[in-house]
Amino acid sequence: MNTPNPELSPMRRPVTLADVDLFGPGAPEQWYAAYEILHREAPVHRLPGEGPTPDKDAFILTKYDDIALVVRDPVRFPPLMSLGLRQLNESGVPPEEVPNINTMMASMMTLRPTDALYRSHRQELTDPWVGPGASRNTEMITGHVNDLIGNWIDNDPGEVEFISEFARPLPQRVMNSILGFPQEDIALVEKWGAAQVAAFVHGEGHRNQLNEEQTREQFEALNEFADYVQAHIEDRRRRPKDDMITFLTQVTYQALGRKLTDLEINGIVYAMVIGGLETTQYAIEEQAQLLCERDGVFDAVKQDRSRLRHFTEEGMRLRSPTQGLSTRITTQDEVFQGVAVPAGSQLHLRWAAGNIDEAEFECPHELKLDRKAVSRHLTFSQGPRVCPGAHLSRLEQLIAWDRLLDRIDHLEYAPGNTFLHQPGIMLGTLELKLRFTKAV
């Protein structure tokens, strides 16, 4: 990871295992140095008393095989969210009456409380828009990419703040178009999207816990978003359009044999926003950094677009947008890398560390445009719970770089970059100043 000014971080570069802290202030600047130590000395790293209850521990998994094993088996290693849904449903309280629950969780109580319904939910409700059916959005995405490039391609000198002028607004525009939100509402949706991921940015520790005041502010914003979405749902029921919200108001969910309620639609929209903005933004801006840093890659991909998919996949592997999440629980005693992990332990899956595991990837820190099985990285997870929007994100990245390479002949860093990152568990560079040569 490019950190030319690590002294700006309040955390010093880790040298020993005792120095490793993946969650403290300034940790993003030191993550990749920490992964080297964890791989070497503690590929299964215990966090005493930080499990789901104070009498249980958490364990950080950093090896590819361990993480892949866990994510491919949601029965043996159930997601925390699934356990929470089970408890909510067993309580007998209707979703609309559960206190302090966002609309996504409320909708999941009825639409996808089991693994079978999870699969049906994806196949019937989201895949047509952001899954394998995402290609329907190709023309729309291309239009947004062209418009955004057009806003700065004629800058003199040829410089751009790439995140605010391209990487961030692209997935925002795309998601607004899919859902049917007006483009002039991007600032509002961005505000509410930030509230959705507040815990992953400002939360403490591996469980991303917000304090009471932060939680109150989060739910105030989320309630505003729920009201906004509800107004769009009511409008689409009266005046159908060609967008995902209209589709959700009309579709019959075959798995349950009925139409969706307004609350269920609201929750699906919530999930689309939380999953559709951050990952793609961070992937694109980190790929821009790789093009600036890795000699020959820009020209190789520009001259041979058949290598573009390898570039974007390698970019996501090398610079994972979401570095890790504490998402799974052990249902039985396990052993990872010779370390005993008791039943009831919480697992923090460190995708980014698994993605540079030399036991899985030859020369893991190299960007190889001929790497075999290039998409086997963990960035979107794997198995039955793979990210529902992976197809859409990949499509956005490919179109973005295809058009950028058409319009630009050279790319490098402009002066003034610090390469500092936001706090939390996502690899989010705060700003990225680039210098480019416009294609003639």
Q: What is the DSSP string of 14-34?
A: P-SGGG--SSSTTGGGGHHHH
Provide the pLDDT for residue 268.
97
Q: Is the pLDDT of residue 96 over 90?
A: no
How would you label 218-253 residue by residue, b for 16+ Cβ within 10 Å and e otherwise? beebbeebbebbbebbeebeeeeeebbbbbbbeeeb
Q: Is the pLDDT of residue 3 over 70?
A: no
Output the six-digit token pair for 357.
């595991």
Output the six-digit token pair for 146.
């062209």
Provide the pLDDT for residue 224.
96
Provide the pLDDT for residue 59.
98
Other residues' Cβ atoms within 10 Å of the Cβ of residue 433 = 15
Task: State the pLDDT confidence band at 306, using cuts at 50, 70 and 90.
Answer: very high
Considering the entire predicted model, what is its pTM? 0.95
* DSSP code string of 371-408: -TTGGGSSTT--GGG--TTHHHHHHHHHHHHHHHHHHE
Q: Is the pLDDT of residue 414 over 70?
A: yes
Q: Is the pLDDT of residue 5 over 60?
A: no
Residues of the chain with pLDDT > 90, as a percent, come to 91
- Contact of 245 with 131, CB cutoff 8 Å: no
Q: Is the pLDDT of residue 357 over 90?
A: yes
The average pLDDT across 197-213 equals 95
C-alpha 340/C-alpha 133 separation (Å) is 42
Provide the pLDDT for residue 7.
63
Task: State the pLDDT confidence band at 147, using cuts at 50, 70 and 90.
Answer: very high
Q: Tens digits of per-residue pLDDT, 246-296?
A: 999 999 999 999 999 999 999 999 999 998 888 999 999 999 999 999 999
What does the mean pLDDT of the chain come to?
95
Provide the pLDDT for residue 100.
82
Task: State the pLDDT confidence band at 1, using cuts at 50, 70 and 90.
Answer: low
Q: Tens digits of per-residue pLDDT, 110-128?
A: 999 999 999 999 999 999 9
Q: Is the pLDDT of residue 4 over 60?
A: no
Provide the pLDDT for residue 11.
86
Q: Is the pLDDT of residue 195 over 90?
A: yes
C-alpha 88/C-alpha 53 separation (Å) is 18
Tell me whether the omega of the peptide bond preceding residue 157 falls within 30 degrees of 0, making it cis.
Answer: yes
The average pLDDT across 15-25 equals 96
Q: Is the pLDDT of residue 239 over 80?
A: yes
Task: State the pLDDT confidence band at 388, using cuts at 50, 70 and 90.
Answer: very high
- Contact of 198 with 218, CB cutoff 8 Å: yes
